Amino acid sequence: MPIYRYACTCGYKHDQFLKQDKQEVLLKCLRCGKNIMSRQVRDASVTFAEKDMVTGVMRNEKG
Ligand SMILES: [Zn+2]
């Protein structure tokens, strides 16, 4: 499942996990609430972890 990454004009950067598979999605900045276009990131070094209904993104340090 893809990750979408944005870097908002307010300076906030975020990787968002989504089930939909598109090149770009419109997300809301978690800091300022502005709508921002996010691009899908294809990164094999990233794995997902789900805990307590929250989906997080974890970096795989090896390699
Ligand atoms: Zn922002």
- Say whether pLDDT at 52 is over 70: no
pLDDT at 2: 87
User: 36 C-alpha vs ligand 1 centroid, how far in Å?
Assistant: 8
The protein residues having their C-beta less than 5 angstroms from ligand 1 (an ion) are: 8, 10, 12, 29, 31-32
User: 7 C-alpha vs ligand 1 centroid, how far in Å?
Assistant: 8
- What does each C-alpha distance from 17 to 39, 54, 63 come to in angstroms? 11, 10, 22
pLDDT in tens, 11-36: 999 999 899 999 999 999 999 999 99
Q: What angle do CA 62, 12, 43 make, to 5 degrees?
A: 30
Local structure of 34: helix, strand or coil: coil
User: 63 C-alpha vs ligand 1 centroid, how far in Å?
Assistant: 32
Euclidean distance between CA atoms 27 and 63, whole angstroms: 30
